[in-house]
Amino acid sequence: MDTPTAAQALLEYYVKKILAAPVYQLAVRTPLQFAPALSEALGNQILLKREDLQPTFSFKIRGACNKLAQLSDGQKARGVITASAGNHAQGVALAARELGIEATIVMPTSTPALKVIGVRSRGADAVLHGDSFPFALEYALNLARQTGRTFVSPFDDPDVIAGQGTVAMEILRQHQGPLDAIFVPVGGGGLIAGIAAYVKYLRPDIRIIGVESEHSACLQAALQAGERVVLPSVGTFADGVAVAQIGAHGFQICREYVDQVLTVSDDELCAAIRNIYDDTRSITEPSGALAVAGIKQYVAQQGVRGQTLVAIDSGANINFDSLRHVAERAALSGARGEDAIYS
Ligand SMILES: *Cc1c(COP(=O)(O)O)cnc(C)c1O
């Protein structure tokens, strides 16, 4: 047998971690669901991986659960700390409660009360600090150093990446026939790194396509520059992926194994939220609709037909009050004939 290359060894390292990740004490195996209207309109079989149905309404519970489970007894006793205004915070809070670990979540002072309550109701200590995320992060890292608590990154950690990679393990088991591409939303790159590592090890023929918001396209910027860059500013409509720099661990995988990266606009996200609603009667958050928006753009650009394309429907944490804005934008792009499906 040939000696494996460093790249193959890295994939194997992640596949082993993914297969052993104890995420199912909290995460559920979500359905891989056929989307009839999208499939009909796009002329391809579209399947939705329903991560919006997780207990915290996003896949982040997988990475948090795996990371916390891997801590030593001493680390567990000292507790964990993280910085997040969103889905990672809920995941860490829930996983920490389940495993009997004390958790502190630092959130920017601008965090909506709903999310602060969401964290506190899961038994975690929510600390409000800093005007925006980078300040909350800095504070959390300092606090971790001072208190000996373990910092839990939302994406830049091999255990978190492996937890998110269990999504791919389920997809390949749930759909054993031909599969052409998996579309994955990208924020800090933890989810796509876990998925790419697992899929490229076992089924390298399946294309892995990242989808970013045009206001936080940090993976595309890094791939173009050949190194991780910090975006000067980041838009927050898709708040789940509003990250200025791709994670170092994730980039190591993405630069080798992501086949293509697409960027979509906020209006394309609003239209995709509507498409998902029409097929599932479920509402997704803007980040949760990135992959479907990416599939629509891909099919329009490449003109592919008869393929099987999977979209990760990654989350549903949207304020009810934002739905009016989403519905208005979706109706406007429909009326302008920009949305191929409804024109
Ligand atoms: C965190 C998140 C993402 C992006 O995941 P990364 O691992 O940061 O790339 C996508 N969608 C939702 C709903 C999220 O919460």
Q: Is the CB of 210 under 6 A from ligand 1?
A: no
Q: Is 263 helix (H, G, I), strand (E, B) or coil?
A: strand
The protein residue with its alpha carbon nearest to ligand 1, atom 4, reads 187
Instruction: Report in angstroms the alpha-carbon separations of 176 from 23, 44, 82.
Output: 22, 17, 37
Q: Where exactly does CATH 3.40.50.1100 map onto the chain?
A: 4-58+158-335, 60-151
Q: What's the 296 CA to ligand 1 centre distance in angstroms?
A: 20
91 CB less than 6 Å from ligand 1? no
3 state SS of 337: coil
* Atom 5 (ligand 1) nearest CA: 187
For ligand 1, the distance from its centroid to the CA atom of residue 94, given in whole angstroms, is: 17
- Going by the DSSP 8-state scheme, the letter that residue 322 receives in this structure is G
Which of these, 296, 318, 98, lies nearest to 209 by C-alpha position?
Answer: 296
Can you say whether the dihedral through the CA atoms of 145, 151, 154, 160 is positive or negative? positive
- Catalytic residue selected from 60, 67, 115, 296: 60
| pTM for the whole structure | 0.96
CATH of domain 4-58+158-335: 3.40.50.1100
Distance 38 CA to ligand 1 centre (A): 23
Question: Cα–Cα distance between 61 and 65 in angstroms, integer?
Answer: 6
Query: Nearest 10 degrees: CA dihedral of 26, 31, 35, 36?
Result: -150
Helix 87-99, helix 113-121: angle, nearest 10: 10
- Å from CA of 54 to ligand 1 middle: 13
Average pLDDT per 10 consecutive residues for the chain, totaling 343 residues: 80 98 97 98 98 96 97 97 90 95 92 82 92 87 96 97 98 96 98 98 98 97 97 90 94 98 97 97 97 98 97 94 93 76 53
Which fold is adopted by the domain 60-151?
Rossmann fold (3.40.50)
Does the CB atom of residue 212 touch ligand 1 within 6 A?
no
The CB of 189 under 6 Å from ligand 1? The reply is yes
**From the CA of 335, how far away is ligand 1's center (Å)?**
30
> What is the pLDDT, as a whole number, of residue 340?
57
Whether residue 314 lies in the annotated active site: yes
- 58 ligand 1 Cβ < 6 A: yes
Tell me, what's the pLDDT at 342? 52
Sheet holding 150-151, edge to edge: 125-128, 103-107, 80-83, 150-151
Q: Which atom belonging to ligand 1 lies closest to the Cα atom of 315?
A: 13
Spatial neighbors of 146 by CB under 8 A, at least 6 apart, are: none
Is residue 314 within 8 A of residue 291, CB to CB? The reply is: yes
Does the beta carbon of 194 lie inside 6 Å of ligand 1? no
Q: Shortest CA distance to 243 belongs to which of 104, 106, 84?
A: 84
Taking the mean position of all CA atoms in its chain, how far away is CA 2?
35
Verify whether ligand 1 is closer than 6 Å to residue 213 (CB atom).
no
Per-residue pLDDT, 343: 40
